[in-house]
Amino acid sequence: MTSITAFKACSATLLMMLVPAPSALAHEGASLPNSLKHGFLHPLLGIDHLAAMVAVGLLSAVSLRGAIWRLPLAFVCALLVGGVAGFNGLELVSVELWIMGSLILMGVVLITTKSVGLRWALVAVSLFGFAHGNAHGLELPAGVSATAFTAGFTAASILCHLAGVSLGILAQRSRFSASMLRVGGAFLVGAGVLLLLNA
């Protein structure tokens, strides 16, 4: 995925957000600050979303050093597309399983501490981003502005990615780098498995 292609994908999605479908418009009505707050807190209050977004940033820092921005960008673009789909009632089959699977797979990659092929990483992260965005869209609270809600969860996602990138850079500068990454990976796998068992 080139930067131009990614930019076009994000631009197209944002245009779709500006002209939402009737089902999404039905939710408009809440104050913009309140809707924005709902969207911003939504991914931060769920351990599955929070951990996955930090993990994307972490993986991009430790596995794709020359393309550190590409995984977060792919995730956010797919997140927007998945959110629009969710607003319009389009649900990814077994969306929760995709989310749990994203935690487990990224955790395994961190545990093995091996580099990831850029193309495969972009495909996987895009699928995960779509699943997370789809869940956000499907869980849009009644009376909340879809557009402001989207702006909120997108901003929160970007901040989490930046946190993950920062953690990855710090981990690489530590002599305990491999151990730290394995601990983080084990946490992700454990969280994914627990969520899967409780599903």
pLDDT score, position 5: 54
Region 55-81: what's the mean pLDDT?
86
Q: For 151-168, what is each residue's pLDDT tens digit? A: 999 999 999 999 999 998
Helix (H) or strand (E) holding 94: none
Q: Is the pLDDT of residue 24 over 50?
A: no
C-alpha to C-alpha distance for 79 and 182, rounded to whole angstroms: 27
- Looking at residue 19, the DSSP 8-state letter turns out to be S
The three-point CA angle 62-117-113 to 5° equals: 40
Region 57-83: what's the mean pLDDT?
87
pTM: 0.81
Q: Which two tokens stand for residue 192?
A: 């994914």
Res. 66 pLDDT band, cuts 50 70 90: low
